[in-house]
Amino acid sequence: MNIKEMVAACEAVLFASGEPVSLMRICEIFEVDEEAAEGVMNMLSDRLVNSDSGIKLVKLDKVYQLCTREEYVEYIRKTLDLRRKTPLSQAAFEVLAVIAYNQPVTKAYVEQVRGVDCSGVVSTLVEKGLLEEKGRLELPGRPLIYGTTDNFLRCFSLKSLDELPEVPADEDNADANGQIKMMDTALELANQLAEDIPIEED
Amino acid sequence: MNIKEMVAACEAVLFASGEPVSLMRICEIFEVDEEAAEGVMNMLSDRLVNSDSGIKLVKLDKVYQLCTREEYVEYIRKTLDLRRKTPLSQAAFEVLAVIAYNQPVTKAYVEQVRGVDCSGVVSTLVEKGLLEEKGRLELPGRPLIYGTTDNFLRCFSLKSLDELPEVPADEDNADANGQIKMMDTALELANQLAEDIPIEED
Amino acid sequence: MDQISYKLGEFEGPMDLLLHLIAKNKLNINDIEISVLIDQYIEQIRAMQLHDMDIASEFLEMASRLIYLKTVSLLPKHEEAEQLKDELTTELMEYEKCRRVAATLSTMTFGFNTFIKSPENIEYDKTYLNIHESEKLIDAYISAVGRGQRKLPPPTTVFGKIVARKIVSVSSKIVFVLRKLWGGGKKQLRTLFDGAESRSELVATFLAVLELCKSNRVYVNGNGENAEISVIKERNKH
């Protein structure tokens, strides 16, 4: 491995690890002595500066880390701020709705209703200020219970939870809906069949 | 802001975000049109290559992401203490194959093709960020449907799903078998019927 | 038998085992010698049981399906056996395709050697900003809970079974469809569903049409789910 490659490899290692990496660790990974490792690090630092990279190498004591250059903080902030406008996923909407209509409920309840794990979605919704912990249930394990927040009300233009739109009653499709509904059912099943039969795509 | 700075700023944004960033987002952040944003991305990609960086820019569908170059995998494994060499089990590849080529599909479909339960494999693949929920099927029970992610594209070095390799030819069946042709007609029909059934997407 | 040293774990499931046996015996997947296949499959399962292995229910399910297939093959009327065999063949071919694609995918894992970075730990206000109509919540709720507002949706496997297993009345519906087409005229596909009284009847009719297509007995032509679809009797079989 030539020196250029080693610089690149160090960069990749620092990038992937995300956290600070000690000089000693670099020595171990590349089986070189401290002096050589330091040399490589200096080369990496120089190359980043010379190629006008948006990333720089920071050295603290004997620990190295890649981070973004200060002058671009503004754009990073903007990115993060724009992220707040990313619409919720379908899964997030479902979790939110299940909790909104049944609150306060445990995560386990939501999972039971949806049939899939939703820890990730719940914590994202807490981060987004749409859900919050409302205490614990007096049950073995004392599970947390969740409910909606004021921000939730704001995002859905509701004055209070009493204003939650009513879920239309189910007009029990089993009885007397005649031919049209039957055909719908057939089509639904056709869909299921289509799904279950191999379809080659090119 | 000159173009060099903009390239650096984009790099900083991608670095900080870690996750893929869409071209649209880039346009919003820098207040430029798509063409300009794409130009900047190409320049960033070229600069990374030309300066022998250990990091590269990948484009997946319409999102961009920074990641390490393949040749340094060993050092990263060593740093992060990762042992596993084979990325996925045989079962996982099979599940991915069925879902990638037929998406979006339900777990039941995958089980049908493989003849075995695969809830475990599917949830592992969701955890690994190779699959994700894509909505639900308008059928009783409203089963979840799954599809592949941007991370799937990255892991299999695909720019988009269109690049999925063609299903390898099947010599035995290639000789025009009337039976199969008829089956195709039936499939087409089922397919057409299915088209009219709404599939919810997020 | 020569080598019954496989471990069950080596197979991804009953289909995998069947394909293994087909390859080993150089059988033609399009026209499997079903008796050979069945005997060997059963023998495998027995061997596994002898070795005190935990046999997954899928393997036993397939075994019972094969035994049933063998049983009906012995009956003087072969129609059902043919149907079941066709069904199995189609499934095997499909799974075989899946395995080939999986093999291709497994050679493309270079990208797994790349690593991404976790997002920077920057503290920022993550409060959600978008405004939605409150009706959106109803849709999402209905979507999560289902129209019938069941607390628990039935497991998805239920649907696999509706399709995987023949509903009892499919053969009766095949007769029904053929009778409707008696004389060789065209019929609107939709009309076959007229007067259906239950969901399972609709399913059976639809499956019957597919079965008839598969066995070259009817021809389906046309576009869309509307009027243009017609069912024609292909040949005068009666």
* Tens-place pLDDT, residues B96-129: 999 999 989 999 999 989 988 888 899 999 989 9
Of C135, C145, C193, the CB nearest to A186: C193
pLDDT at B49 exceeding the cut of 60: yes
- The set of residues, in sequence order, having a beta carbon less than 8 Å from that of B162 and lying 6+ positions away, is none
Question: Tokens 């597919």 identify what position?
Answer: C210
CB C158 within 8 A of CB B141: yes
Q: Is C227 on the interface with A (CB under 8 A)?
A: no
Q: Which helix (H) or strand (E) holds B121?
A: helix B119-127
The pLDDT score that the predictor gives to residue A138 is 82
Smallest Cα distance from B141 to chain C, Å: 5
CA C79 to each of CA B44, C76, C84, C235, C236: distance values in angstroms, whole numbers, following the listed order: 66, 9, 9, 18, 18
The pLDDT score that the predictor gives to residue C167 is 40
For C42-69, write each residue's pLDDT tens digit.
888 888 777 766 667 788 888 888 888 8
Cβ neighbours of C193 in B, within 8 Å: none
**By percentage, how much of chain B surpasses pLDDT 70?**
81
What backbone phi and psi angles, to 5 degrees, belong to A151? Answer: -65, -35
Contact C110 B70 (CB under 8 A): yes
Highest mean pLDDT among A112-121, A137-146, B14-23, B180-189: B14-23
CB B95 within 8 A of CB B185: no
Q: Is C101 on the interface with A (CB under 8 A)?
A: no
Q: How far apart are CA B46 and CA B62, in angstroms?
A: 18
Contact C109 B178 (CB under 8 A): no
User: What subunits touch chain C, counting only 3 or more CB pairs under 8 A?
Assistant: A, B
Q: Complex ipTM, two decimals?
A: 0.73
The full 3-state SS of B37-79, as one line of letters, equals HHHHHHHHHHHHHHCCCCEEEEEECCEEEEEECHHHHHHHHHH
The pLDDT score that the predictor gives to residue A16 is 93
The mean per-residue pLDDT over the stretch A129-148 comes to: 90
Of A9, A71, A79, the CB nearest to B13: A79
Contact B76 A13 (CB under 8 A): yes
The mean per-residue pLDDT over the stretch B172-184 comes to: 39
pLDDT at C72 exceeding the cut of 90: no
Contact A84 C128 (CB under 8 A): yes
pLDDT at A201 exceeding the cut of 80: no
For C97-146, write each residue's pLDDT tens digit.
899 899 899 889 888 888 888 888 778 888 898 899 888 888 888 888 76
Cβ neighbours of C155 in B, within 8 Å: 141
The pLDDT score that the predictor gives to residue A152 is 95
The pLDDT score that the predictor gives to residue C184 is 61
The pLDDT score that the predictor gives to residue B169 is 60
pLDDT at A117 exceeding the cut of 90: no
The mean per-residue pLDDT over the stretch A151-179 comes to: 71
Identity of the amino acid at B188 = E
Interface contacts A/B by beta carbons within 8 Å:
171
Q: How far apart are CA A134 and CA A161, in angstroms?
A: 15
Smallest Cα distance from C152 to chain B, Å: 8
Smallest Cα distance from A46 to chain C, Å: 22
The mean per-residue pLDDT over the stretch B144-151 comes to: 92
Question: By C-alpha distance, which of C180, C176, C174 is closest to C209?
Answer: C174
For A154-165, write each residue's pLDDT tens digit.
999 999 998 888
Burial letters A149-173, b for 16+ CB under 10 A, else e: bebbbbbbebeeeeebbeeeeeeee
With left for phi above 0 and alpha for psi between -120 and 50, is residue A125 left, alpha or beta? alpha
Given pLDDT bands bounded at 50, 70 and 90, which one contains residue A24?
Answer: very high
Given pLDDT bands bounded at 50, 70 and 90, which one contains residue C225?
Answer: low
Contact C101 B172 (CB under 8 A): no
Helices A34-50 and A23-30 sit at what angle, rounded to 10 degrees? 100
For A25-66, write each residue's pLDDT tens digit.
999 999 999 999 999 999 999 999 999 999 999 998 889 999
Contact B55 A29 (CB under 8 A): no
Residues 30 through 69 of chain C touching chain B, CB cutoff 8 Å: 30, 56, 58, 62
Smallest Cα distance from B111 to chain C, Å: 7
